[in-house]
Structures are given as structure tokens and as C-alpha cells.
């Protein structure tokens, strides 16, 4: 039975949903995301914004299973497509998370200077986005709160933004500092991430 690229993509998306979160099936999940990306290319083009999501999820799947060079390659591919679609609604969110993911990969490859530059850029962008979110402790409209300092893209939750993304980058920065035996800085980043999460928990309405 002939399927159009759009119909095939829908089928693959259902397969991805069934496989996601099952650590015993990461090879099948990788194959599914590769097929999903191929459907996007056939239906649209090599620079369609949906490819950002495909590359990002391939990267985070590889990263979860410690295939670091492969993860880094897909983060870079996601960045290239994202830069070609700067007007896309989620381009800014992806930009932060892609930089964070690249920083984590470079940390694990012991490219510490490169990782530091990437994570600091990610933190700056995440702080800017958080400042635009009403009610955020980093928001100019929120009445205060601490600003962050220096960065998990291990998951595929690319929808995250605001303070959650800032905390995630701080955790990545903590890993970078710890890898270099800069334990005081590592603890400082974790404490700041914890403070952000505590504020978020207090802001969640009680049932």
C-alpha cells in the first residue's frame, strides 16, 4: 500500500511515541527518528524547521546512551537548520537547548574551553528568555530574584523554557566544573539550580 511522506511520518511518530522512554529500545528509536527526518525531507526540504526537532531528539537519544560524537554531530545539524529558520516559533527555545547539548558533549569529550563557551552562551540566552516570562524570578516584572551565572539536554524535552532551562544549563555547568576538579564552582552551580527549582515549586498552584 502506497503511503505519502505525510502519512508515513504519522505512522513513524506513533512508533516513536511507543518507543520513547524505553531504554532497551534505543536502537529502534534512533532508526525511527532517522526515518522521521527522511519523511520531512521528502515532504518539505533539507532545511524545514521540523528537522530541528528530529536532529535534536536523535542527539539526546545518542547522548543518553553515551554515544557522544554521534550526539554532537546531530546537535550541530540541529543548530544549522535552526539558524536557517530563526523566525520559527520555537527557534529561541531550541537555540538554548542545542547549545546546552553541545556543551555537555564537549565536556564529555574533555574539550573544556569549548564546552565553557557554549554553556555560557546557553545560560545567557536562557536568562534572557526567562526574563521575558511573567512570574519568573528572573523576570523584569516579577519583583526580584537572583540572576544566574554560568548549564540537561539529556532528555528530549525541547519545549522547556524560562527558569527550567536556566536550571538545566546550571546543572550542565556543574558537570563541566566537576570534570575539571573545580568543585566549589560545581557546587555553586548546583545550589543555584536548586534555588530556581525551589522557586518554581512554590509558584505551582496547590490543588
* pLDDT beyond 70 at 39: yes
Distance CA 168, CA 103 (A): 12
Q: Name the phi and psi angles at 182, rounded to 5.
A: -95, 75
Displacement of CA 118 from its chain's centroid (Å):
13
Give pLDDT tens digits for 8-23: 999 999 999 998 877 6
Q: φ and ψ at 127, to 5 degrees?
A: -65, -40
Element (H, E) at 164: helix 162-179
With contact defined as beta carbons under 8 Å apart, do 129 and 92 qualify?
A: yes
The 10s digit of each residue's pLDDT in 76-101 is 999 999 999 999 999 999 999 999 99
Q: What is the pTM of this model?
A: 0.81
Q: What's the whole-number mean pLDDT along residues 117-135?
A: 84
Q: Does residue 147 surpass a pLDDT of 50?
A: no
pLDDT band at 153; cut points 50, 70, 90: very low
Whether the pLDDT of residue 69 is over 60: the answer is yes
Chain-centroid distance, C-alpha 21: 16
Residue 153: φ, ψ to 5°: -85, 15
How far apart CA 141 and CA 31 sit, in angstroms, is 45
Closest to 148 (Cα-Cα) out of 112, 202, 197, 102: 197
Confidence tier at 206 by pLDDT (50, 70, 90)? low
Mean pLDDT of 39-51: 94
Amino acid at each position: 500500500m502506497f503511503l505519502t511522506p505525510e502519512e508515513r511520518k504519522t505512522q513513524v511518530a506513533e512508533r516513536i511515541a511507543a518507543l520513547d522512554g524505553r531504554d532497551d529500545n534505543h536502537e529502534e528509536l534512533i532508526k525511527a527518528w532517522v526515518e522521521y527526518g527522511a519523511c520531512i525531507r521528502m515532504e518539505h526540504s533539507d532545511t524545514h524547521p521540523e528537522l530541528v526537532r528530529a536532529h535534536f531528539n536523535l542527539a539526546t537519544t545518542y547522548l543518553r546512551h553515551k554515544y557522544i560524537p554521534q550526539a554532537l554531530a546531530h546537535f550541530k545539524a540541529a543548530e544549522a537548520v535552526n539558524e536557517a529558520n530563526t523566525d520559527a516559533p520555537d527557534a529561541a527555545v531550541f537555540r538554548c537547548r542545542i547549545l546546552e547539548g553541545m556543551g555537555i558533549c564537549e565536556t564529555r569529550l574533555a574539550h573544556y574551553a569549548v564546552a565553557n563557551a557554549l554553556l555560557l552562551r546557553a545560560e545567557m540566552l536562557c536568562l534572557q528568555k526567562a526574563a521575558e516570562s511573567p512570574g519568573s524570578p528572573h523576570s523584569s516584572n516579577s519583583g526580584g530574584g537572583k540572576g544566574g551565572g554560568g548549564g540537561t539536554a539529556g532528555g528530549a524535552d525541547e519545549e522547556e523554557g524560562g527558569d527550567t532551562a536556566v536550571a538545566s544549563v546550571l546543572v550542565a555547568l556543574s558537570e563541566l566544573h566537576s570534570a575539571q576538579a573545580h568543585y566549589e564552582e560545581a557546587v555553586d552551580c548546583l545550589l543555584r539550580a536548586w534555588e530556581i527549582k525551589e522557586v518554581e515549586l512554590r509558584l505551582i498552584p496547590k490543588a
